[in-house]
């Protein structure tokens, strides 16, 4: 049960680390319909999927509701992108951590460096 819990935590951590947010212009060419965006309005950030936009209003699905936001009110706009580098780094770091922890927990494991023939 402990291994399953650790595995679930590890997988959820790795999946969170695969994405990063890139700041984009509020211009129409930068927005991507269907992608998840972070929108800063005043002091608050909202995370939602962009449904539609035009010259003056952008519509986001935040949770179960739709939110119409005037483009002039948006202080900052970020789009979520898959990050290959972060995925490789975090996956390697987590695997190394698991190996080190398992070795510390049971240091009597002998791994032969070369094959030996039985006598």
Q: Are 17 and 93 in contact (CB under 8 A)?
A: no
Q: State the Cα–Cα distance between residues 66 and 50, nearest whole angstrom.
A: 10
Across the range 60-89, mean pLDDT stands at: 89
Q: How far apart are CA 80 and CA 93, in angstroms?
A: 23
For residues 36 and 48, is the Cβ–Cβ distance under 8 A?
yes
Higher pLDDT, 4 or 111: 4
- Shortest CA distance to 88 belongs to which of 77, 78, 96? 96
Which residue ranges form the domains of the chain, and what is each CATH number? 17-93 (2.30.30.520)
- For tokens 């706009």, what's the residue? 77
pLDDT in tens, 18-34: 788 888 887 766 778 88
Which residues in 1-117 belong to E strands, given as ranges? 19-24, 36-41, 44-53, 57-62, 65-70, 76-82
Quick one: pLDDT band at residue 103, thresholds 50, 70, 90? confident
Rounded Cα–Cα distance for residues 71 and 26 (Å): 7
- Percentage of the chain modeled with pLDDT above 70: 75
Name the β-bridge partners of 68: 59
């Amino acid at each position: 049960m402990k291994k399953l819990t650790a595995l679930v935590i590890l997988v959820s951590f790795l999946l969170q680390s695969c994405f990063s947010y890139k700041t984009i212009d509020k211009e129409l060419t930068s927005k991507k319909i269907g992608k998840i965006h972070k929108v800063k309005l005043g002091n608050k950030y909202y995370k939602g999927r962009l449904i539609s936009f035009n010259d003056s209003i952008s519509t986001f699905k935040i949770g179960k509701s739709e939110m119409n936001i005037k483009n002039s009110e948006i202080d900052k706009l970020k789009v979520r992108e898959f990050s290959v580098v972060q995925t490789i780094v975090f996956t390697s770091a987590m695997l190394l951590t698991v190996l080190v922890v398992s070795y510390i927990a049971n240091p009597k494991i002998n791994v032969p460096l070369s094959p030996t023939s039985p006598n």
